[in-house]
Amino acid sequence: MSVLVGKEAPDFSATAVVGGDFKENFTLSSHRGKNVLLFFYPLDFTFVCPTELHAFQEKADAFKKLNTEVIGCSIDSQFSHLAWLKTPKAKGGIEGIKYPLVADINKTIARDYDVLIQDAGVALRGAFLIDEKGVVRHQTVNDLPLGRNIDEFLRLIEALRFHEEHGEVCPANWQKGAKTMSPDQKGLDNYFGG
């Protein structure tokens, strides 16, 4: 697996479903100036996937407050995305999802982000936090049966934002408002010393 952290996020141009409509030539680079949480999921009309997509939607306002766009992507077509969006939640659908869902039917985006399972032809549950300049700041990849914790992405965005604004670093298990430290020995000594 390629490590993309610290590198410019691979751009793409694809069809996405946004607000129930097809948007041709949807690009990652058009979101510069905002953070982006780009996440991959294996397939439409599956089982863990709708739980994750709804969980991202439930936190939409929190992401927006952090100047972060959420974008989902799978190897399905835009037609499959739209059909799934029209399927009620009670029937396993994702009705009510408002963020963009990118169609990666040629699997080029999943390949560029190195999350494609060649034998299965689907993407692992990859997630990439991309900063306002288009640089990947965090990446995680889960196996197919392992759903993600959406609150952890919010925590990471808060930590990135704090670091960018104050220059300090955020230690393990940091939450907004908790103690941080300067990125040097004195900062570490002060952190552990009280």
Give the active site residues: 49
Q: Which residues contact 183 (CB under 8 A, 6 or more apart)?
A: 167, 168, 169
Contact present, 164 and 72 (Cβ < 8 Å): no
DSSP letters along 29-87, please? Answer: GGGTTSEEEEEE-S-TT-SHHHHHHHHHHHTHHHHHHTTEEEEEEESS-HHHHHHHHTS
- Return the C-alpha torsion angle 28, 110, 16, 131, nearest 10: -30
Residue that the structure tokens 């009705």 belong to: 95
